[in-house]
Chains A and B, each alone.
Chain A
Amino acid sequence: MSGPDRGAWRLIAARDFWVRLRERSFLISTLLNLGVISVLVLLRASGGFAGATSFELGVLGGADVVAVANGAASLGGEDLPVRVHPYPDGAAADAALNDGAVDAVLTETQLYGLESVDGRLEALVQTSAHQAAVDAILAEHHVSEAEREKAAEPAPLALGALRPAPPDRQDNAAVAFVGVLLLYGQLFGYGMWVATGVIEEKASRIVEMLLSSIRPQQLLAGKIIGIGVLGLAQLITIAGFAIGMALATGADFVPTTAIWAALLVIGWFVLGYAFYASLFAAAGSLVSRMEELQNVIVPINLTILVSFIISVGSLQDPNSTLAVVASILPVSAALAMPVRIVLGVATGWQIALSLALLIGSAVALVPVGARLYSGAVLRTGSRVKLRDAWSAA
Chain B
Amino acid sequence: MKGIKLQKLYNSERFLKIIFGLGLFIVLCMGGLAYKYVRELSESFRLVQHTYEVHVELEKLLSLLKDAESGKRGYIISKDSTFLKPLLTNRVALDESLDQLQTLMDENPQQQQNVKDLRLKIDKSLAIFDTTLALADRGKIESMEFKSAFQEGRRVMNSVRFQMIDMTAQENQVLKKRREASSESLSSAPLSVYYVLIFCLAILLLTYVQISKNLKTLRQKNEQLETFKESSTQSAMVSKHGNWIWHEDDNRFEFSDSLYRLLGEEPESFVPTYDNFLEFVHPADRDRLTEQMDAMYVKKELPYIHYRIRQKNGHIKHFKAYAKLLVDMEGHARLLGTTADVTDEKENYRMLEEKNAELEKNNKELASFNYVASHDLQEPLRKIQTFISRLEDKDMGNLSGSSRMYLDRIKTASERMRSLIDDLLQYSRTNTSDQAMEMSDVNDLLDAAKQDLAEVIMEKTATITSDAFPKMKVIPFQIKQLFLNLISNSLKYSKEDTAPVIKIGYATAKAKHLKTLKSSKYRSYHIITLEDNGIGFDQQYVDQIFELFNRLHGKSEYSGTGIGLSICKKIVENHNGEITAQGNLGQGATFTVYLPIR
A binds B: no
